Amino acid sequence: MKTRVALYIRVSTEEQAKEGFSLEAQEATLSQHCENLGYIVVGKYIDDGKSGKDMNRPALQELLKDCSQKKFDIVLVWKLSRLSRKLKDTLQLIEDFEKDDVSFLSYSEQFYNSKNNSTNKLMLSMVGGFAEFERSTIVENVKLGMNQRAKQGKWNGGRILGYDIVNKELILNEDEANIIRMIFNMYVNGKGCIYIRDKLNELNLKTKYGKAFTHIAILTILDNPTYKGFIRHGRTTGENKKRIKQENIIIVKGIHEAIIDEESFDKAQQITAHNRRTTPRMPSNPHLLSGILKCPDCGGRMNFQPAGKRNNKNHGGYYTCSNYKNFRTCRPRLFRAKHLERSVLNRIKSIASSTRIIEDIINEMNSNQGIDTEIIKKQITDVEKQIRKYESRMDAIKQQFISGDLTIDEYREFKSELEMVLTDLGCSKETISLEYAKACNTAVDANDVLFVLENFDALMENADVQMKKQLVESLIERIEINLDSTINEFVFNFEVPNPLHPNNQSKSDILICDTVHRD
């Protein structure tokens, strides 16, 4: 019987651009190597455009899953750094292979790891250490280069409203610059961010990414010294982009053209600072129905909006549509929070007090425990692979067009065809994902649901606000209300047989308000 081999292939965008570690080249080299040795390739696991900094890669995770199922005898990579650039992760992965009696082979380093081979383990530690050191060196060099560019007044960031990026330099975009001038002009003349946001959206003006303005977007623009001709670099750091101390930030005069004069910019900062001092923050407690309550007009999520004195912890409040609050694309309706929350809790208590409903819920859930979610997950994975494949083709034809290998008409034709395929694949993924979500929902542990329902009163009485919200969200996916603040329907996170619709399975997970006692 021939030795079964799994190929693991990875390339990041930067590596392919700079060093030519293409997926096709790796695949061809490794396949030929297997043929020369008389091995049979039983699987190819490809992570396209994925960094080796961690193990959160789709193809790698699929490889590990298949490894545990004994689908192959050897994992073959083109180079050790393809597996991981961190020694710790590399050692962990090979240890996982060993547990499943799978060997590991690196083509470039001629490294073959079999169980209990101490010499190869020593070599692995050395080579893996070099790979990690190489990545750390690259990261450090990139940081030094970016810091140097910033100190020279050069741009390091991405797209920014008001400018186009040409040869890594900021070039004034006059149409967008006028939006920036409008924002600063209104702000320094007494208009607030909400007013400015509404005015820009009323004029159908868009952000750099073609979206409607939010008040956060306005504040971000007002705080950006790029617009007064300066470069700011180092305000965020690390992979999680956390804020760092002010003394570590580079702020220097840039080589680009300013949009706002320094006097107007500084005045805007003074207004913002004054507003922060004179406007106390609201309590940050989570609110019971935020996110799961749906707007009766547009179906969007509703969020809590405070009312009354800001320094009063017992202030009243409302739920309002987030689409209206952020974009003014819905109606300005307000629904009393205390009334809605009390109504929802009373409905849940009514359900929890009904032995018949609880028994029906448990029976329904137990009958659906046999759904095989792994099959659906495999379908999602297959579709995602196809999407990545065609996205790679889209990038490839773009590069061919840039290099002059394709005419503009050829590029447009290929691009149109690929976009149609990607649209179809996206629809397929959405459909399958909905099936998977439904399968997962029916696979909720019946005992957990039973415990929450039977002990709902006691749990709510002893819980803080955060825990109360988690308890409600563990039961309810969404709540739809009527314009008069009454509840239209609950949609649960699990199947709820509906007495009003015993023969209609499409209604089985919706509990209409008439099926429980009214307030």
Point out the residues that are catalytic: 12
Classify residue 246 by its DSSP letter. G
Q: What is the DSSP letter of 435?
A: H
Q: What is the dihedral of CA 83, 85, 89, 94, to 10 degrees?
A: 40
Please report where in the chains the tokens 């065609």 appear, as a residue: 390
At residue 256, the 3 state secondary structure works out as coil
- CA-CA distances (angstroms) from residue 20 to 11, 12, 17, 71, 201? 9, 10, 6, 31, 45
Radius of gyration of the chain, Cα coordinates, nearest whole angstrom: 29
Contact residues for 325 (Cβ-Cβ < 8 A; gap 6+): 303, 305
* Cα separation, 86 vs 94, whole angstroms: 12
SS3 category, 242: strand
Between the CA of residue 460 and those of 107, 245, 274, what are the distances in Å?
60, 41, 41
CA angle 340/344/349 to nearest 5° reads: 150
Name the token pair of 272: 């913002």
Residue type, 31: S
Question: At which residue do the structure tokens 């009393």 appear?
Answer: 336
3-state secondary structure of 4: strand
**Contacts within 8 Å (CB) and 24+ apart, 502-508:** 508/364
- SS3 of 481, please? strand
Beta strands at 103-106 and 74-77: parallel, antiparallel or unpaired: parallel
In this structure, the number of other CB atoms found within 10 A of the CB of residue 347 comes to 21
Whole-angstrom distance between the N-terminal and C-terminal Cα of the chain?
72
Partners of 75 in the beta sheet? 6, 104
How far apart are alpha carbons 234 and 243 in whole angstroms?
Answer: 9
Angle between helix 446-454 and helix 465-475 axes, rounded to 10 deg: 130
Residue whose tokens read 């670099």: 233
Rounded Cα distance, 99 and 95, in Å: 6
